[in-house]
Structure 1
Amino acid sequence: MQKQDFYQSLTLQARGLTEGESNLIANMANISALLWMSLEDINWVGFYLMDSPNELVLGPFQGKPACIRIPVGKGVCGTAVAQRATQLVFDVHEFAGHIACDAASNSEIVIPVYKNGEVIAVLDIDSPSVGRFDEQDKIGLEALVKAFEATL
């Protein structure tokens, strides 16, 4: 299956899981589980939620225990919030200020989640492989997050 088709299917599944449910935590938990089951070569997937204008707090996830709080502007997740843009990191060890919650992670993608034009969370996915995520992953995961935002 081509990546584009894979992500279209994944987005449809995410819609099916979240349709008619307004609870943010429940929907984030199901999306995390869906991505954990479906994506290959990842070691962590989940959400960080805005807890204040300056800080993210750990939300629903799959994987090893993680950093609980991340300041906006710090690490890949905090940078995604500060820049209001997806961060596609080929090698986290070359990312200035990377926060190593799991030393086994080598690449990462972080997508901001918006409600009413404001970042309310980020979707964070880590891989033990350098260069795991590419532009097709970015496009596919951004589409999935857009579908999720429609439930907010």
Structure 2
Amino acid sequence: MMQTIPMHLINKQLDSLLEGETEQTANLANASALLYQHFSSVNWAGFYLYAPKENELVLGPFQGLPACVRIPMGKGVCGTAAQNLETQRIADVHAFPGHIACDSASASEIVVPLVKDGVLLGVLDVDSPEQNRFTKEDQEIFEEFASVLLKHI
């Protein structure tokens, strides 16, 4: 993944930016802006938050075009990542069974579950208009970003 600054510096910037702030919405908004600003070939970066009463994901802070508001658990890439508690790295979203097309320009996607103290909080979702955009190395980068973020939410 091409970024304008090294990932360890982005994670350090995220840690610094969120230090001492407890407002979850503000922290997620800044985290999505940071990702969207520093990564090329990304057309959406943001969060879906788990709503346990409804057992679904609900749109949270993001950068990009308007998005689907609710995603049932197990549906689409985000719902699958949330239900299985496993990162989903999809080279071609149009080949993913049950893909939810919020933005028809998206061609690949990576979704990292946000789990703190064994509890699902939501998912980090990043889309790209390029197929095969996200590598195994990118997956590790986003999982580390999520780990830094989870210290602050």
TM-score (norm 2): 0.94
Paired positions, count: 151
Change over 3 Å in CA distance of 1:2–1:105 after alignment to 2? closer
1:102 and 2:72 correspond: no
For residues 2-81 of structure 1, the aligned pairs below 5 Å read: 6-52=6-52, 54-81=55-82
- The unaligned stretches of length 5 or more in structure 2 are none
Q: Aligned partner of 1:66: which letter?
A: A
Q: Aligned partner of 2:128: which letter?
A: S
Deviations 1:13-49 (A, max 9, x none): 1111111111111000000000111010011010000
Aligned residue for 1:36, secondary structure, equals helix
Q: Aligned partner of 1:115: which letter?
A: K
> Conserved in 1, the CA contact under 8 Å of 2:2 and 2:39?
no
Please name the residue that 1:144 is paired with.
Answer: 145
1:112 and 2:143 correspond: no
Please report how far the alpha carbon of residue 52 of structure 1 lies from its aligned counterpart in structure 2 after TM superposition: 2.3
Please report how far the alpha carbon of residue 105 of structure 1 lies from its aligned counterpart in structure 2 after TM superposition: 0.2
Which ranges of 4 or more aligned residues in structure 1 deviate by more than 4 Å? Answer: none
Q: Which moved more, 1:124-133 or 1:13-22?
A: 13-22
- The unaligned stretches of length 5 or more in structure 1 are none
In structure 1, C-alpha distance between the alignment counterparts of 2:36 and 2:146, rounded to whole Å = 15
Q: Aligned partner of 1:63: which letter?
A: G
Aligned residue for 2:66, secondary structure, equals coil
Cα root mean square deviation, aligned = 1.6
> Conserved in 1, the CA contact under 8 Å of 2:2 and 2:40?
no
Change over 3 Å in CA distance of 1:63–1:83 after alignment to 2? same
Q: Aligned partner of 2:142: which letter?
A: L
Q: Aligned partner of 2:81: which letter?
A: A
Q: Which moved more, 1:115-124 or 1:55-64?
A: 115-124
Please report how far the alpha carbon of residue 109 of structure 1 lies from its aligned counterpart in structure 2 after TM superposition: 0.2
Q: Aligned partner of 1:142: which letter?
A: E
TM-score (norm 1): 0.95
Please report how far the alpha carbon of residue 2 of structure 1 lies from its aligned counterpart in structure 2 after TM superposition: 8.1
